[in-house]
Chains A and B, each alone.
Chain A
């Protein structure tokens, strides 16, 4: 049974760089899936950040594209999110999620529990 577990620093300084990790266990990170990052600000809705395909192709939401990189560490079975120049607006719960059918924009059929990020001044 595939599981996703996110982790991160919790607190990040404003203008700094945020790095999050999603560990994929119980399955292959090289499966025909898109791996996604989604965030949710306190009391807010879901915001899709981006995705990475089996072959490493990436897509990002235009508003974050200049600051975000999603990558994979195959040996460690990890999906990585890096976000530069963070501000208070980036404070949120960050989720890792699997696209279930191997296409961009797939339904996200598996989610991690999320990791909280707070940007401090």
Chain B
């Protein structure tokens, strides 16, 4: 059972905007720990696409953006493209467990 809660799946047509939520608790996101997001294309290792809630590594398109509120975070993808079809995971830190924690992952389907 994942500590961070994500929807199992989301979908959208090319060009549309989709958002993926990541719900935490008072011991992780709610405690002020940063949220990071990863993209995992089938058969490949995860790739960091958002760090420290909303920063993008070099080379990640600005179609990807992240935000954080009190005990949750969101990943938004605008201008959906076929190559965005992948699994997306959020990650934060649980201060009470001294452990990193992942969400269960969200499968994005581009229709």
Contact = CB atoms under 8 A, between A and B. Distances in A.
Given A104-B98, A107-B36, A113-B45, A45 B52 contact: no
A62 B97 contact: yes
B100 A36 contact: yes
A109 B49 CA distance: 9
Interface residues of A, number: 23
Contact of B100 (A48, A95, A109): A48
Given A46-B105, A62-B99, A105 B92 contact: yes
A45 B104 contact: yes
B99 A109 contact: no
B102 A47 contact: yes
22 contacts: A36-B100, A45-B102, A47-B102, A48-B99, A48-B102, A51-B100, A59-B98, A62-B99, A95-B45, A95-B46, A104-B100, A105-B92, A105-B93, A105-B99, A107-B51, A108-B36, A108-B48, A108-B91, A109-B48, A111-B45, A111-B46, A113-B45
